Amino acid sequence: MFGVYIHFPYCRKRCPYCDFAVHARARIPHEQYAAAVRRELAERAPLYTGRRLRSIYFGGGTPGLWRADCLGEVLAAVRAGFAPESDALEVTVEANPDDLPREQLEGLRAAGVNRLSLGVQSLDPKHLATLGRTHARGEAERAVSEARAAGFDNISVDLMFGIPSQTLTELEADLAGVLAMEPEHVSVYNLTVEDRTAFGGLQRAGMLSVPDSGVCAEMYERIDARLTAAGVLHYEISSWARPGRRAVHNTLYWTGGEYLGLGCSAHSFRRLPDGSGERFSVARSVDEWLRAPSVATRETLDPAALEREAVWLGLRLLDGIDRAAHTRLYGADPVLTHGEEIDRLVREGLVTVEPERLRLTPRGVLFADEVGARFV
């Protein structure tokens, strides 16, 4: 599997929890940024000669703000540079609900975008204000409705839990509101307070209190039960989807696929002929990247490191790891290679070993990060 990720760093404002490479600018250099991405694509594409394209993902930042004609030029250049694996090429754009006037939606759809990922986060006015979001519930509902009218039949909604002062009743209300929108996919994230964010500063000052781990675990289980009952099925630690609507691009990351990252702060990964892998990234600062989009970091992973990484990423999927497929790709059955550690995880009730698969138990899903850390 091979995909292309394009990072668009511009936002109207920085949210207090955000630690991504974003730049809040009153004026966005639409044409300049598109031209720079196309130049970088021309330079990097030869590293991926012969790969067949499975997905394109515009993330950010807020790529929904990118003028549709400029985004379309980049999309066309990527499609021209790589043969698609099939006609069903997934093309996703992240967007905020209040940044999608009808003409923008129509422009994105005409450019070839066929999947939207909407940063809803919450529908509660109090929590939207806490999170620094600029949309209201009605704008989220309108965005979904108008996206449908523009021809989008694949919409993902982001939802956050563990928000300061959030209660289970408020979470239930958010879930009911999201399900009423009938999205094909829901991504759910436990709020993480990062040091470099505004929330990080508030927490260090003792001015931010989030629900404790026990409450968050209960919230997570409530989310799973509610979404599953509605036919939106849990397939990855943070992801639920209707049948046939799993995120192709994100699945590529979890299954060890290759990807080319374009734009400031973007990361790339490719497999090398000797069985090792190479990961590289470019400057996080958009101004520095626009001056010279050269490689800023580079890391080589030997086959053993790639195999360990494949285990902890693969265990994020509720389907778990296909032992035979893993053996074909890495030359080793993970249950045999990591027998001692897996025996411990089985005794702790965190993973289960089946003849064909290795997967997390329901309890293991709640401790997925801790399980993954055993293999890093």
pLDDT number for residue 313: 96
Number of H helices, E strands in the chain: 16, 17
The residue extents of the domains of the chain are 2-252, 319-376
Mean pLDDT of 9-27: 90
pLDDT number for residue 21: 84
Percent of the chain with pLDDT over 90: 93
Residue 350 is classified by DSSP as S
pLDDT of 156 above 90: yes
pLDDT number for residue 96: 97
| Termini Cα distance of the chain | 23
- Confidence grade of residue 200 (pLDDT, cut at 50, 70, 90): very high
This prediction's pTM: 0.96
- Confidence grade of residue 224 (pLDDT, cut at 50, 70, 90): very high
Identify the CATH homologous superfamily for domain 2-252: Aldolase class I (3.20.20.70)
Round the average pLDDT of the chain to a whole number and report it: 96
Mean pLDDT of 304-315: 96
Of 85-89, 94-98, 114-118, the one with minimum mean pLDDT is 85-89
Strand partners, 259: 3, 269
- Of 229 and 86, which is predicted with more confidence? 229
- Confidence grade of residue 339 (pLDDT, cut at 50, 70, 90): very high
Burial class (CB in 10 A: 0-12, 13-18, 19+), 68: buried
pLDDT of 283 above 90: yes
For 125-141, the DSSP string reads HHHHHHTT----HHHHH
Closest to 312 in 3D by CA, of 268, 360, 271: 360
Closest to 15 in 3D by CA, of 138, 122, 168, 92: 122
Mean pLDDT of 84-100: 94
Over the stretch 105-149, which tens digit does the pLDDT of each residue have?
999 999 999 999 999 999 999 999 999 999 999 999 999 999 999
Cβ-proximal residues to 213 (8 Å cutoff; 6+ apart), any chain: none
Mean pLDDT of 14-43: 93
pLDDT number for residue 370: 93
pLDDT number for residue 25: 86
Over the stretch 67-78, which tens digit does the pLDDT of each residue have?
999 999 999 999
pLDDT number for residue 376: 79
Over the stretch 50-64, which tens digit does the pLDDT of each residue have?
999 999 999 999 999
**Token pair listed for 189:** 């994230």
